[in-house]
Amino acid sequence: MKQSPKISVVVPVYKAERFLHGCVDSILAQTFEDFELLLIDDGSPDSSGKICDEYAENDHRVRVFHIPNGGANKARALGVSESAGSEYITFVDSDDSLPSTALHDLYALAGEEYDIIIGNYDRNPKQYADGEMDKLELVKRIYAYSIASSPYAKLFRRELFDEETFDLPRDFVMGEDFIMNLRLAFACDRKIRIAHTMVYHYNDNTEGIMNTFNYTLDYLGRSYHFKKSVIPEPYRERCMPYCIANVLMMNHVIVGHYYYHKTREKTQLHLQVIEDIRNYGYKGQWWECFALRFANPMFSRLYLGIRAMTQWLKRMKRRWI
């Protein structure tokens, strides 16, 4: 009887023909050999599915699944469900690649005391230092974006996943990785290991959703709802301030609503955030709460102007460093 691999590598594939060879070749060239590669062809209309099949014909470690287009979240869910009893799961986006020692380095850090191992990726602006943390510290850092909420550059213990891990509506396409990471963090019973080791090559694809998605107030409201609802009741008092701080990073979207629509009527999201600030005793930046409470067409114009100037000054500072 064939022994299950130690790691299952799950790759959602959609319109990836330009990058797919580089991605798959980098995975198959790993110095760590005890893995399987699951390529999930998410109804891709280009030649990606054919490329996947060619790899499966030539390497027994590769398994391919062709499904109707349902989004990356659904593709990852299928990959996890089809993983052959492996100890760990890791995800790779089809336009990215792995250093040759990535799986070896991640697995070498794994042990009975850790549920998640987090490594660095080459374009990470906040290069991680070696250390460990408990799940509430991980949750805090995910909300603060000091640890990437993306699925990649991480090794997850297989038992963390359940039927709710990927349970999100099909049209929630920006931020589903964030919810997945939070659910996996709350599922941890062991510690989390973080390492400075580089384990992922990220390709800034200009056609990817990160570079093409535009937030609306309605979408921000849905995102806030999911980010709140994912917090288990025993951790709500502790973690809601982190969630509030997260939504206030997009305060310009909420406040901007009043300027662009020339209205003083409070939105449902606006009222909910203000109520949560009061209920959970959030103590954040004074100007965040001030801007939120006194949003109106005139003040919002001033706020957005100051924000634009601040961002411009930051860009100039980075350019001269």
| pLDDT tens for the 321 residues of the chain, in order | 467 899 999 999 999 999 999 999 999 999 999 999 999 999 999 999 999 999 999 999 999 999 999 999 999 999 999 997 899 999 999 999 999 999 999 999 998 999 999 999 988 767 788 999 999 999 999 999 999 999 999 999 999 999 999 999 999 988 999 999 999 999 999 999 999 999 999 987 655 555 566 788 999 999 999 999 999 999 999 999 999 999 999 999 999 999 999 999 999 999 999 999 999 999 888 888 888 988 999 999 999 999 899 888 888 877 775
**Is 159 inside any structural domain?**
yes
One domain for residues 256 and 133: no
State the distance between the two ends of the chain, measured CA to CA, in whole angstroms.
Answer: 59
Residue that finishes a domain, picked among 159, 181, 211: 211
CB atoms closer than 10 angstroms to residue 290: 12
How many domains are there within the chain?
2
**Is 112 inside any structural domain?**
yes
The enclosing domain of 94 has a CATH number of 3.90.550.10
**Is 227 inside any structural domain?**
yes
One domain for residues 88 and 157: yes
pLDDT attached to residue 3:
78
pLDDT attached to residue 212:
61
One domain for residues 226 and 192: no
One domain for residues 181 and 262: no
Can you tell me the distance from the alpha carbon of 156 to that of 171, in angstroms, rounded to the nearest whole number?
Answer: 25
**Is 1 inside any structural domain?**
no
Backbone angles phi, psi at 11, to 5 degrees: -125, 105
For residue 229, the enclosing domain spans 215-320
pLDDT attached to residue 206:
56
Residue that finishes a domain, picked among 211, 227, 247: 211
**Is 179 inside any structural domain?**
yes
Helices assigned H by DSSP within the chain: 20-28, 48-58, 72-82, 102-109, 135-143, 176-186, 209-212, 217-229, 236-248, 251-261, 268-279, 286-293, 297-320
Sequence-distant (6+) residues with CB within 8 A of 320 are none
One domain for residues 187 and 309: no
Say if residues 16 and 88 touch (Cβ distance below 8 Å).
Answer: no
One domain for residues 297 and 184: no
One domain for residues 148 and 100: yes
One domain for residues 199 and 245: no
pLDDT attached to residue 272:
96
**Is 92 inside any structural domain?**
yes
One domain for residues 203 and 226: no
Can you tell me the distance from the alpha carbon of 8 to that of 10, in angstroms, rounded to the nearest whole number?
Answer: 6
pTM above 0.85, yes or no: yes
One domain for residues 99 and 186: yes
One domain for residues 207 and 233: no
**Is 2 inside any structural domain?**
no
- 3-class DSSP assignment, residue 26: helix
pLDDT attached to residue 1:
44
Residue recorded with tokens 């790899």 = 55
Residue that finishes a domain, picked among 185, 211, 237: 211
pLDDT attached to residue 314:
83
One domain for residues 219 and 278: yes
pLDDT attached to residue 254:
94
**Is 64 inside any structural domain?**
yes
Q: Return the amino acid letter for 129.
A: A
Say if residues 118 and 192 touch (Cβ distance below 8 Å).
Answer: yes
